[in-house]
Chain A
């Protein structure tokens, strides 16, 4: 996700990265010569006179290369990634940071507005991608000055806090840069990342892309039939949304129209004959990043909101009554598999956890100040949640690639090239008897693996790995947690790898199925049934872009496509609810709408 942890927006993009930023302070600090009582405008960055061969390693180390984790807490420090940030930085300087010594309210407001996602729209927020490396200056004096100038000393700090909550890097428990540190990093970017090939090693990805599923997977799936959350929730009588009166699970949600009911959705289900796709809701707003749902399927959450607000920028949809509940967060929803609670991220205050019972009281909004909610700064962005039955909760986070495609034409999956220093943090939330107590995260090095997700039972973790040559792997590991002292020892033996291209996956509650989206790429013509890569229909599809949802049986690695999207339609962020229905959204560029869609594909496949 763009807003992820550290150093600005999404990766990718290469190209020239000359930063036009001129240092706004002369090499001799202007403050030295100023009258003793004169107000001095803080500098955005000071020039650094170090030679390239001295500057480059210092800057790289400050980013996290070979030193304490900083940006690499969340982002792979690859050459491509840094080049992408340099491009964003240059754009920020050219577009928004030409005046680094504003003195009037209008000048300050112009800078603040320029950095927004949608300039002129006060509720649109400040994505880090609009700042590039300057996101790492978000907590320094210059931005404080500019916000106070733009909004006054009363409103300025409020707006600044929102800006920092969304844009300032790095996030979480990683130390922010001091001004001298930022100066070094910014100088390196401004010079165009000289000697990057010397200080940032190449990350040759694995060259093998072979599906290999061990017997452990089948054993795990067998165990989960009775001990997984699908069985546990069913045993506990969890009331599945839309199932009142249904005699079978596939009979749930029958009151919703299927995809053949609309011209714009006709044919979606043709990839898997017999499958039913139901349109649960049409949204008139654009969501941000991924979408997730409660175990019972009643609540669907994501970043984005229909009403303009600087605070309530995410939405929890209560499908019972098709009601939107604005939430004071930005993105990254997660729901615990036992239907007990949920989490959202962003907007200050770290991860925000609430009891799910809060949502069934029909709240008009969720401010996260409710007594059912608490926050913490332990759990990083892009987190995924799991729970041991009657035991501890677990979260996983680590390096990730933003996936916010389909707002514009998107022609490839998010990059799976993660760094050789990549790691994941597994955070146990220990059940003390009356509450859950977050223990320090347990960091495990997983070189070149990212976008890690944890299974509902907290017994598996799946990550994405680049396999070179345009191929990519899902790598599955077993989580072996052994109590030791006040926490756990963790080992992560590999149990399977699947040579499949796709974005961040999600596992079913019975942990037999994995579901993911895959953007239509140039090599997909044959798999999608076109005559050739130059087939006009395929060319048209590629021109507008599209994404489809796939489901995989993890015991065999067999993959089935379960949607057939039309050009400009992106089926995204698929995930399961407890009973096996798959939820995802469709982002429709043609109609400017998004839909919440349910599929019974896995239920159908399991009965075959």
Chain B
């Protein structure tokens, strides 16, 4: 189901003919995977996070080259094709991993299912959804359609059979504005009591001397272990003063190695639950007993300096990714604006009083040149841009992609060959800190167009702005992390970008250490996940 974004009739409301208002990831229109689509796709594919990346935080902040390489690697993980659970007619049907992830309708469906399993007393007490219940709920979700009387097996079979073209395959993924990796989705559902407690509360202080929260979840993953088999996870970076705890619920135990790869030396610990202390890379191996079977591996770690997220059950887990997609209609004479992001364009952008992205031409790219999704009703959309925020770093790795008709120059010049298909038509910038700590304005770029573009954007506050998603005055010189630090507050994009006293350098500088929703706008504003959860709870437990 979609949410009308204030019907602007310009209806849903957003823009009309007026200049676009600044935005900070506050999209509201969603067209999600239906229950039938979810059965086709199956459970969303977990994001295979790089557990060592957080050990390179300083390096990434100080090197554009390293940062961009890490970001492209994350993009490769996010767009890697994942197969359907139920194969439709189209040959080799797959979705990019991020497009298999959960939208708000999935969250609502799963939360409704899980919350209704609680007893009335538990519901009124806002009891947490425990790990077992969440496991079962995520497993149930792809089967939800089978409980709907409107979807008998023959209808579902006809529906699957009709998906016979790549654009229709992509359409199964829907055109959700915001999608959540399994790790992120699970954390949001697990956090519902905390989120509800924050709704309607006064704005949290920007600076807080917060208590140290409990351990942060890295991984919780069901594993099927054959008798006497092993499966290794990691490595995960565990810093100085930090610890990691791994446990296996099932037929076997975990072996934890620190500093050396598994097998190179005796494990530091072998038991059903192990805790090791950093610093160093940690590998976790699930080892089946002589019978094997289904088990669940859980890995948590205790940070030395954790991010405070009072409106959640702690910070998001390592494999949390939240994407924001900018879909554009590809019919009815809609064309795609084209934005130059070369050095000259960026210099002009910075020099203009408005510092707003402007487009001087339009394009009409086909499905071979841009990721294109056709919905079952025939509506066709192009993916103009995509934000990815991954929790592989404590303050997130911020990546944004945008389509370009000239994709191999400037911000696309260093795209690795491993990223193929239509994704070769997207450029990218990334940021990991509030300030730009790379002393080389050209970011060590080998390609002259990339180096020049980076130099044109280089200044003390970090920069990374997507021309499609960062609309409005001053938004051309914003940065993802600067804007998102206010996630979970009621500060608006207009304030962030327009009030240079409260939010210096178009909001790019860090002005708070209290991140109530761990940098996510989706929880309390934007995607309205919090309101959705509240609506469910209030429905089942009316006053």
Contacts and interface: CB of A to CB of B under 8 A. Distances in A.
Given A353-B4, A371-B6, A430-B329, A435 B15 contact: yes
Interface in B33-75: 34-35
A393 B11 contact: yes
A470 interface: no
Residue among A339, A434, A435 having the largest count of chain B Cβ atoms under 10 Å: A434
Contact of A374 (B7, B381, B535): B7
B14 interface: yes
Contacts of B512: none
Contacts of B28: 355
A488 B375 CA distance: 18
Interface in A474-520: 483, 485-488
A390 B8 contact: no
A487 B331 CA distance: 9
A413 to B, nearest CB: 32
A234 B105 CA distance: 13
A60 to B, nearest CB: 33
A376 B15 CA distance: 11
Contacts of A226: 150-151, 155
A392 B7 CA distance: 11
B198 interface: no
Interface of A: 225-226, 231-239, 244, 320-321, 336, 338-341, 343, 351, 353-357, 360-361, 371-376, 378-379, 388-393, 427, 429-438, 483, 485-488
Contacts of A321: 543
B11 A234 contact: no
Contacts of B9: 351, 353, 374-376, 378-379, 427, 429, 436-438
Nearest to A230: B150
Given A339-B1, A357-B3, A483-B332, A231 B150 contact: yes
Contact of B10 (A225, A357, A436): A436
29 contacts: A234-B148, A236-B109, A244-B542, A341-B13, A353-B13, A354-B7, A354-B13, A360-B534, A360-B535, A376-B7, A390-B377, A427-B9, A429-B9, A431-B12, A431-B31, A432-B328, A432-B334, A433-B327, A433-B329, A434-B12, A434-B14, A434-B326, A435-B29, A436-B5, A437-B9, A438-B9, A438-B10, A485-B333, A486-B334
A434 B27 contact: yes
Contacts, number: 189
Q: Per DSSP, are chain B's interface residues mostly helix, strand or loop, or mixed?
A: loop
Interface in B121-171: 145, 148, 150-151, 155
Given A361-B531, A434-B327, A353 B375 contact: no
Given A235-B145, A340-B3, 19 more contacts: A226-B151, A244-B539, A340-B2, A341-B3, A353-B7, A356-B3, A361-B200, A361-B531, A374-B14, A376-B7, A376-B16, A379-B9, A391-B379, A432-B329, A434-B326, A435-B12, A435-B15, A486-B332, A488-B332
Contacts of B405: none
B8 A236 contact: no
B57 to A, nearest CB: 33
A436 B13 contact: yes
Contacts of B531: 357, 360-361
B7 A433 contact: no
A511 to B, nearest CB: 14
Interface string B98-115: 000000010011001000
B222 interface: no
B375 A355 contact: no
A376 B326 CA distance: 24
A431 to B, nearest CB: 7
Nearest to B376: A390
B5 A355 contact: yes
Contact of B7 (A235, A343, A371, A391): A343
B11 A429 contact: yes
Nearest to B334: A432
Q: Which of B3, B108, B528 has the most CB of A within 10 A?
A: B3
Contacts of B13: 341, 353-355, 372-374, 435-436
A406 to B, nearest CB: 31
A435 B7 CA distance: 7
B8 A434 contact: no
B297 to A, nearest CB: 31
